[in-house]
Amino acid sequence: MEKIVIRGGTPLKGKLQISGAKNAALTLIPAALLTEEPLTLRNLPRLADVDMFGHLVNQLGTSTEIEGKRPEVFGRVMTLKAGRVTSTTAAADIVRKMRASILVLGPLLGRCGEAKVPLPGGCEIGARPVDLHLKAMEALGAEIEVSAGYVHARAPKGLQGGRIDFPIVSVGATENALMAAVLANGDTEIVNAAREPEIVDLAQCLIGMGAKIEGHGTGTIRVRGVPRLHGDTYRVMSDRIEAGSYACAAAITGGDVELIGADARDFEAVAEKLEAAGVSLEQTDEGLRVRCTGGIRPVNITTHPYPDFPTDMQAQMMAMLSLASGVSVLTETIFENRYMHVGELERMGADIQVSGRTATVRGVKRLKGAAVMATDLRASMSLIIAGLAAEGTTEVLRVHHLDRGYERLEEKLSAVGADIQRASGD
């Protein structure tokens, strides 16, 4: 078992490249199933989840060709061609490892009129029901049967345009609904749609492929179905969660880092809280400069769907605020089990109390290195951030979580002065 070893206490300084967005990439890959022509995606991050999703669409009949395999190059170019969908049944061994794989449901239904997808698995951060995905497909005329751990959806006469009214905001369900609707007969209205930049990224890619979409980035998306889509070349947006994570790393170490490719407009709620905590953010020609030389101030944070503060940044901000000069209160409203990193941060000397969905963080003067265990992707990054500022050596175990969402983390952090390396576990 591999581990990340960090000797903390060094301010991060220099330039750090932000990769293509994991959450956008995992939505754009299944979009290739919507056309028989090639879809070329540029700026794909080198991540385990991206590779796994590539294998999933391979098993459905999609060919993939990858450029940029050289290890010294950030990002890759992947051309996907689903000339003929050879199977409408998604591989159980992949789907049950990665929740995003439910996103093949909409494209398969839209193009083939049938899809059989296992109920997905993924990180243990609370319930993420697929009910909203299924209700969206039903609103477009699909017949849904759930049995023996599989979702079997059929639309033998093709999907029909309709009104999809989500009771709560769901990014994944919005993405699935959008991909299903572009090939449906007639017009579709998606109400209470997610507004994340990744939704906009998907819509822009689909429009480039010939889809008729309006309102993306707002709470109501309108789609006019078309008979077919064509191929295109599209660049994946930069990863706003990675940028926010490295901003926290720069801040907690009292550093000065330019995040190449980052744009504060992609994560305004996070930028607002960072600045309230005493972190300086300055947009540059190449990206975003992050500085923190006067110490970290406490802030209160409540997670909500975009454009409010994202749940995917809660753990990283908590790590940073563990060294703030006062008390911060964090409230998690999205997932009910996303404080598993608290116990590990406490091993390093953090003072955190959890009551239900609220965590009270009392800033301490210093953190101390310890052996800690990663529990999910963002929790893993919170431990890395804490380790960068801690006295002594921190060992982060179960780093396979990090490999799902942070491209070449040790290399990027080393380039800005961190003493960090990957080693074999005990």
Distance of alpha carbon 335 from alpha carbon 337, whole angstroms: 6
Q: Give the span between the Cα atoms of 145 and 51, in whole angstroms.
A: 29
> Is 11 marked as a binding-site residue?
no
Low-confidence ranges of the chain (pLDDT < 70): 68-73, 121-129, 425-426
Residue 5 and residue 395 in contact, taking contact as beta carbons nearer than 8 Å = yes
Q: Is 252 annotated as a binding residue?
A: no
Indicate the DSSP class of residue 120.
Answer: P
pLDDT of residue 122: 47
Do 302 and 153 belong together in one domain?
Answer: no
Whether residues 363 and 408 fall in one domain: yes
The question of whether 123 is a catalytic residue gets the answer yes
Q: Would you say 23 is a known binding-site residue?
A: yes
Alpha helices of 81-196 — where are they, by DSSP H? 92-95, 105-112, 131-139, 171-181
Choosing from 209, 235, 261, the residue where a domain stops is: 235
Given 123, 205, 248, 292, the catalytic residue: 123
Distances (CA, A) of 258 to 13, 17, 239, 383, 387: 8, 8, 15, 22, 20
Residues 345 and 208 in one domain: no
Output the DSSP codes for 296-322.
PPP--EE--STTS--GGGHHHHHHHHT
pLDDT at 126: 43
β-strands 76-81, 63-67 pairing: antiparallel
CB 12 within 8 A of CB 257: yes
Query: For position 267, what pLDDT does the model report?
Result: 94
Q: Whole domain around residue 172: which residue ranges?
A: 22-235
pTM listed for this prediction: 0.94
Task: Round to whole Å and give the CA distance between 189 and 330.
Answer: 35
360 and 219 in a common domain: no
Phi and psi for 393 in degrees, rounded to 5? Answer: -110, 135
Structural contact between residues 87 and 44, judged by C-beta atoms closer than 8 angstroms: no
Do 54 and 170 fall within a single domain? Answer: yes
pLDDT for 68 equals 61
- Please answer whether residues 420 and 1 qualify as being in contact, where contact means their C-beta atoms are separated by less than 8 angstroms: no
Residue at 238: amino acid letter: S
**417 residue type, one letter:** G
Residue 313: give its domain's CATH number: 3.65.10.10
According to the annotation, is 125 in a ligand binding site? Answer: no
296 conformational bin, left if phi > 0, alpha if psi -120 to 50, beta if neither: beta
